[in-house]
């Protein structure tokens, strides 16, 4: 366009005195973009580091893990890896006894046979301790544990009844094969010491690993693809760098998920802020636009002038937001430090900034365009007649197109965020439904107030009420923007509460807090007596027999495995089943199908009881045959009943339960569940158990809960920090929505004042209106949030949904309070000054 320069100049001139009014618009964008860029950057930095971290975390090119040693056939496959360096690792959990302090500690014992790790280095003190270990036969103990018990190099630790000298401190740990390591300190012992200690017994929980280093021309992933099946069939796992990388990504995916929700919330709130603040700005500009049009400006030109203004200020805000976001991003890892799976170097991620900024520009512009395109419909006739009815009753197709584009972009944004078509669709539809419901409610309110208007109530109340439906009423805009803002924030709070509560409930009340594993049959009664001597209840003492599935529904396992149409999932088929037997159901179990058989006599058919999730994973139902391999002996059983187990119960849970009279003679070990009244008793009890029964493992669930709590506290910091962001944006939405009404109501209030209304009456009228609007919007928003978070919790996060009223009550009161406060604050001019003074000033 030839005179584009002219429009830019005019845009500049026209904005000159009013730029302050766009401050809200700018802050909405700044906050939204800042959150988006901060979260995006964090994600990029995490991914960037994953590659490097995964190599040194794994320490090898290929690792094979499982809960028993590699079989001979599999070893043949492993031998086919060319030019390899090989190492074997064993990990198990056990109690250790510290003679120096007469304490006991649950530890993760690792033993390495070979030159592992091939990559990275095990940090020890003295530095060469790990290299000398095999020759000198000492152990390496976790630095934190040594500090806790005041241990020094040269002291010793009793593991599995053998006294072992400490030769060094362990500053880092490698290739942790089991997830338990986060709550038990690690101790490295030598293979010889492992042998001596006889820690490995039938029934003890041991993880085995074999690590390989391959030449660079050998592709570990190709090898994995080729042999994955064979190893899986024996319940072994192959891990390569690629898998390790995926594991890491999974480790922070739930954090990621929540952060993404926060990003989304900030962005959407930002968008509501943008749309409503641009709307206010343009409301102010209607008469200017009419004059421009009257003087011969075309609708496109008028549109262009304001579009330029919004675009320029929008860009400035986006840049500011990106800078702010990058600074916050530098802060995030500090808060998240201990929670992240590894240390993250925070770099400025230009890609994150670029992505955040372009999404921001796009979505902001789209939302700003909604009020902007209305400029086209401002008739020049307004110069002659101030109150020309603006609501033309035809449909503005451009606007409709714009709405469709907005919905599509939100969908695209969500898809990019979640990578799931289903989730993106669900979220978009949710937002759309929320919008439509609020729109419907606003229409309903206008209709209902007019229809059932209480003509006999006091003047003040009637005025306030009538403001809801009079021409130029703000019912629709306020209910939609405040309602949507409330809904989104409340959803965030409910989900946050559910996340925190779900874990918090685990340590509540009368739950057991100690589990003893690996008790042998002849130790069973002694341990019970010992426990009772400590005045602790034996909540559960059950036998465990390990077995494997060898066939079901009349076909052998091998036969099934080659059948591609089978329903049974791999984990259910291959797991080493830990089976118990008893004659009744526990309180935390519920029979859902079939008849529970408590006891059988020799020769009878054996009816077993399955947990519902196991039964469905196997695709078996009542009456189906299942054949078990119990350490060599085949036992044929039938599915007799299906149980549902309360998953929050701290009791040991059994997927497969045999009746009495079958397994009594099979090799087995016992589990005992008890509850310790305090930490002091816990410590004494543990020492006593370890001293008398070195093979028994005591797991202190209280410790696990403390660790979990620790992680959760950190998560809730982030949650609160990011939610604070959203609250700030929400406030902007509230202020900008209410500023909309400022220009609407001031003229009327001035007039009423002129006609002799008292200051208090004006306050009461305004109060009534804002109170009604605030509570209607907040209420609708909260109801929407209930529905939204219910689906989010049950469908996406698999949390149990229950409502805590406390934060929701407060949200309601805060929203209503702020609505009334800001509303009254906006009309303070009218209230404070004499009507004459205001008339002289230019109002509206």
Partner 1 sequence: MTKILEVKNLIKTYKSINKELTVLDDINFSISEGEIVSIVGPSGSGKTTLLGLCAGLDTPTSGSISLTGELISSMSENQKAAVRNKNVGFIFQNFQLLPTLTAIENVMIPLELQGKPSGARSKAKDLLGRVGLGDRLTHYPTQLSGGEQQRVSLARAFSNNPKVLFADEPTGNLDEDTSDIVENLLFDLNKEQGTTLIIVTHDLDLAQKTQRVIRLKGGKVCRDQKTNQD
Distance from C-alpha of 351 to C-alpha of 830, rounded to nearest angstrom: 50
Distance from C-alpha of 436 to C-alpha of 441, rounded to nearest angstrom: 9
In the complex, what is the shortest distance from the CB of residue 289 to partner 1, in angstroms, rounded to a whole number?
10
In the complex, what is the shortest distance from the CB of residue 294 to partner 1, in angstroms, rounded to a whole number?
6
* Cβ within 8 Å of residue 330, ≥6 positions away: 346
> What are residue 94's DSSP bridge partners?
107
In the complex, what is the shortest distance from the CB of residue 1 to partner 1, in angstroms, rounded to a whole number?
10
Given the complex with partner 1, which of 25 and 208 has the nearer CB atom? 25
In the complex, what is the shortest distance from the CB of residue 319 to partner 1, in angstroms, rounded to a whole number?
25
Given the complex with partner 1, which of 146 and 280 has the nearer CB atom? 280
Give yes or no for a contact between 716 and 500, defined as CB atoms under 8 angstroms apart.
yes
In the complex, what is the shortest distance from the CB of residue 290 to partner 1, in angstroms, rounded to a whole number?
8
Given the complex with partner 1, which of 469 and 721 has the nearer CB atom? 469
In the complex, what is the shortest distance from the CB of residue 8 to partner 1, in angstroms, rounded to a whole number?
12
What does the H/E/C string look like for 822-843? HHHHHCHHHHHCCHHHHHHCCC
Given the complex with partner 1, which of 287 and 629 has the nearer CB atom? 287
In the complex, what is the shortest distance from the CB of residue 17 to partner 1, in angstroms, rounded to a whole number?
5
Given the complex with partner 1, which of 379 and 550 has the nearer CB atom? 379
If phi over 0 gives left and psi between -120 and 50 gives alpha, with beta otherwise, what is residue 419?
left
Given the complex with partner 1, which of 2 and 334 has the nearer CB atom? 2
Tokens 């001035």, located at residue: 750
Given the complex with partner 1, which of 4 and 433 has the nearer CB atom? 4
In the complex, what is the shortest distance from the CB of residue 387 to partner 1, in angstroms, rounded to a whole number?
13
Given the complex with partner 1, which of 5 and 665 has the nearer CB atom? 5
Phi, then psi, of 432 in degrees rounded to 5: -65, -45
* Cβ within 8 Å of residue 709, ≥6 positions away: 503, 504
Give alpha helix (H) positions in 518-609. 524-533, 557-561, 570-574
Given the complex with partner 1, which of 2 and 508 has the nearer CB atom? 2
Given the complex with partner 1, which of 272 and 290 has the nearer CB atom? 290
In the complex, what is the shortest distance from the CB of residue 279 to partner 1, in angstroms, rounded to a whole number?
18
Given the complex with partner 1, which of 391 and 510 has the nearer CB atom? 391
Distance from C-alpha of 708 to C-alpha of 339, rounded to nearest angstrom: 11
Half-sphere exposure of 721 (CA within 13 A, CB side): 19
Given the complex with partner 1, which of 18 and 664 has the nearer CB atom? 18
Distance from C-alpha of 404 to C-alpha of 395, rounded to nearest angstrom: 14
Rounded to 5°, angle at Cα 336 from 334 and 340: 120
Q: How many helices (H) and strands (E) does the chain have?
A: 25, 21
Specify the pairing of strand 206-213 against strand 625-630. unpaired
Given the complex with partner 1, which of 12 and 439 has the nearer CB atom? 12
Given the complex with partner 1, which of 310 and 410 has the nearer CB atom? 310
Distance from C-alpha of 698 to C-alpha of 692, rounded to nearest angstrom: 12
In the complex, what is the shortest distance from the CB of residue 378 to partner 1, in angstroms, rounded to a whole number?
10
Which long-range contacts link 597-603 to residues 24+ away (Cβ below 8 Å)? 597/640, 597/641, 597/659, 598/659, 598/660, 599/659, 599/660, 599/661, 600/659, 600/660, 600/661, 600/662, 601/661, 602/661
User: How far is Cα of residue 840 from the mean position of the Cα atoms in its chain?
Assistant: 57
Given the complex with partner 1, which of 37 and 838 has the nearer CB atom? 838
In the complex, what is the shortest distance from the CB of residue 292 to partner 1, in angstroms, rounded to a whole number?
7
Given the complex with partner 1, which of 1 and 395 has the nearer CB atom? 1
> What are residue 608's DSSP bridge partners?
639
In the complex, what is the shortest distance from the CB of residue 288 to partner 1, in angstroms, rounded to a whole number?
5
DSSP 276-344: HHHHHHHHHHHHHHHHHHHTT--HHHHHHHHHHHHHHHHHHHHHHHHHHHHHHHHHHHHHHTTTSSS--
Given the complex with partner 1, which of 301 and 409 has the nearer CB atom? 301
DSSP 153: B
In the complex, what is the shortest distance from the CB of residue 285 to partner 1, in angstroms, rounded to a whole number?
9
Binding site for partner 1 (CB under 8 A): 2-3, 5-6, 9-10, 13-18, 287-288, 290-301, 379-381, 383-385, 842
What does the chain come to in residues?
A: 844
In the complex, what is the shortest distance from the CB of residue 10 to partner 1, in angstroms, rounded to a whole number?
7
Give alpha helix (H) positions in 420-507. 421-451, 459-466, 475-504
Distance from C-alpha of 398 to C-alpha of 617, rounded to nearest angstrom: 52
In the complex, what is the shortest distance from the CB of residue 787 to partner 1, in angstroms, rounded to a whole number?
38
For residue 632, how many other CB atoms are within 10 A of its CB? 6
Given the complex with partner 1, which of 393 and 665 has the nearer CB atom? 393
In the complex, what is the shortest distance from the CB of residue 35 to partner 1, in angstroms, rounded to a whole number?
33
Distance from C-alpha of 397 to C-alpha of 378, rounded to nearest angstrom: 16
Torsion of CA 89, 93, 97, 100, to 10 degrees: 60
In the complex, what is the shortest distance from the CB of residue 774 to partner 1, in angstroms, rounded to a whole number?
32
Encoding tokens for residue 720? 């609160």
In the complex, what is the shortest distance from the CB of residue 275 to partner 1, in angstroms, rounded to a whole number?
23
Using only C-alpha atoms, the chain has a radius of gyration, in whole angstroms, of: 35
* Cβ within 8 Å of residue 420, ≥6 positions away: none
> What are residue 192's DSSP bridge partners?
none
Encoding tokens for residue 841? 């000033």
For residue 527, how many other CB atoms are within 10 A of its CB? 21
Give alpha helix (H) positions in 755-804. 759-791
């Amino acid at each position: 366009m030839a005179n584009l320069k002219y429009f830019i100049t005019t845009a500049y001139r026209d904005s000159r005195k009013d730029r302050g009014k766009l401050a809200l618009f700018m802050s909405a964008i700044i906050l939204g973009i800042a959150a988006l860029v901060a979260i995006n950057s964090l994600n990029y930095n995490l991914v960037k580091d994953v590659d490097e971290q995964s190599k040194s975390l794994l320490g090898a090119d290929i690792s094979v893990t499982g809960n028993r040693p590699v079989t001979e056939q599999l070893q043949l496959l492993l031998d086919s890896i060319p030019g390899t360096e090989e190492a074997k690792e064993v990990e198990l959990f056990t109690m250790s006894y510290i003679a120096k302090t007469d304490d006991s500690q649950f530890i993760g014992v690792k033993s390495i046979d070979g030159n592992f790790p091939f990559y990275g280095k095990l940090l020890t003190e003295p530095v060469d301790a790990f290299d000398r270990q095999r020759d000198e036969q000492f152990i390496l103990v976790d630095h934190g544990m040594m500090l806790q018990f005041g241990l020094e190099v040269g002291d010793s630790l009793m593991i599995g009844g053998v006294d072992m000298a400490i030769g060094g401190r362990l500053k880092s740990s490698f290739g942790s094969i089991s997830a338990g390591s986060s709550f038990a300190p690690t101790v490295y012992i030598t293979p010889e010491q492992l042998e001596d200690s006889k820690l490995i017994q039938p029934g003890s929980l041991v993880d085995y690993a074999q690590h390989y280093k391959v030449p660079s021309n050998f592709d570990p992933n190709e090898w994995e693809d080729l042999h994955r099946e064979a190893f899986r069939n024996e319940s072994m796992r192959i891990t390569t760098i690629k898998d390790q990388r995926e594991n890491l990504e999974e480790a922070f995916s739930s954090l990621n998920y929540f952060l993404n929700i926060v990003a989304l919330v900030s962005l959407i709130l930002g968008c509501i802020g943008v749309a409503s603040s641009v709307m206010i700005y343009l409301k102010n500009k209607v008469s200017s636009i009419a004059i421009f049009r009257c003087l011969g400006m075309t609708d496109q030109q008028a549109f262009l002038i304001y579009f330029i203004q919004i675009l320029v200020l929008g860009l400035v805000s986006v840049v500011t937001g990106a800078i702010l976001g990058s600074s916050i991003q530098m802060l995030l890892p500090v808060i998240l430090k201990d929670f992240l799976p590894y240390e993250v170097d925070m770099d400025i991620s230009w890609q994150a900034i670029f992505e955040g900024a372009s999404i921001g520009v796009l979505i902001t512009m789209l939302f700003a365009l909604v009020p902007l395109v209305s400029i086209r419909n401002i008739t020049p006739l307004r110069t002659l007649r101030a109150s020309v009815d603006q609501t033309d009753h035809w449909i503005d197709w451009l606007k409709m197109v714009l709405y469709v584009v907005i919905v599509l972009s939100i969908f695209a944004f969500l898809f990019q965020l979640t990578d799931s078509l289903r989730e993106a669709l669900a979220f978009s539809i949710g937002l759309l439904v929320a919008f439509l419901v609020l729109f419907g409610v606003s229409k309903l309110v206008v209709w209902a107030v007019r229809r059932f208007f209480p003509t006999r109530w006091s003047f003040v109340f009637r005025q306030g009420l009538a403001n809801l439906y009079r021409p130029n009423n703000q019912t629709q805009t306020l209910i939609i923007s405040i309602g949507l803002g409330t809904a989104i924030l409340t959803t965030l709070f409910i989900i946050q509460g559910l996340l925190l509560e779900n874990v918090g409930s685990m340590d509540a009340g009368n739950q057991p807090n100690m589990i003893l594993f690996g008790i042998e049959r002849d130790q069973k009664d002694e341990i019970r007596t010992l426990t009772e001597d400590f005045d602790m209840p034996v909540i559960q003492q059950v036998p465990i027999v390990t077995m494997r599935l060898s066939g079901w529904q009349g076909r052998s396992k091998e036969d099934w495995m080659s059948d591609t149409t089978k329903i049974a999932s791999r984990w259910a088929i291959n797991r080493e089943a830990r089976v118990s037997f008893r004659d009744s159901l526990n309180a935390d179990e519920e029979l859902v199908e079939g008849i529970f058989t408590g006891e059988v006599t020799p020769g009878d058919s054996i009816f077993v009881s399955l947990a519902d999730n196991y039964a469905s994973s196997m695709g078996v139902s009542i009456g189906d045959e299942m054949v078990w391999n119990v350490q060599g002996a085949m036992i044929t059983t039938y599915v007799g009943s299906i149980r549902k187990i309360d998953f929050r119960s701290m009791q040991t849970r059994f997927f497969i339960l045999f009746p009495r009279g079958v397994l009594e003679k099979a090799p087995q070990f016992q589990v005992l569940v008890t509850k310790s009244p305090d930490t002091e008793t816990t410590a004494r009890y543990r020492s006593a158990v370890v001293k008398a029964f070195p093979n028994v493992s005591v797991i202190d669930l209280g410790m696990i809960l403390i660790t979990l709590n620790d992680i959760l506290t950190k998560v809730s910091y982030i949650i609160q920090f990011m939610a604070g962001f959203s609250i700030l944006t929400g406030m902007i939405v509230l202020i900008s929505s209410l500023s909309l009404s400022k220009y609407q109501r001031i003229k009327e209030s001035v007039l009423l004042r002129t006609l002799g209304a008292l200051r208090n009456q004006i306050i009461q009228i305004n109060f009534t209106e804002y109170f009604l609007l605030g509570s209607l919007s907040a209420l609708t928003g909260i109801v929407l949030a209930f529905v939204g978070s219910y689906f989010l919790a049950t469908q996406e996060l698999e949390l149990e949904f229950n409502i805590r009223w406390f934060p929701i009550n407060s949200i309601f009161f805060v929203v209503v309070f702020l609505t009334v406060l800001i509303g009254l604050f906006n009309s303070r001019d009218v209230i404070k000054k004499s009507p004459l003074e205001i008339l002289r000033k230019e109002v509206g």
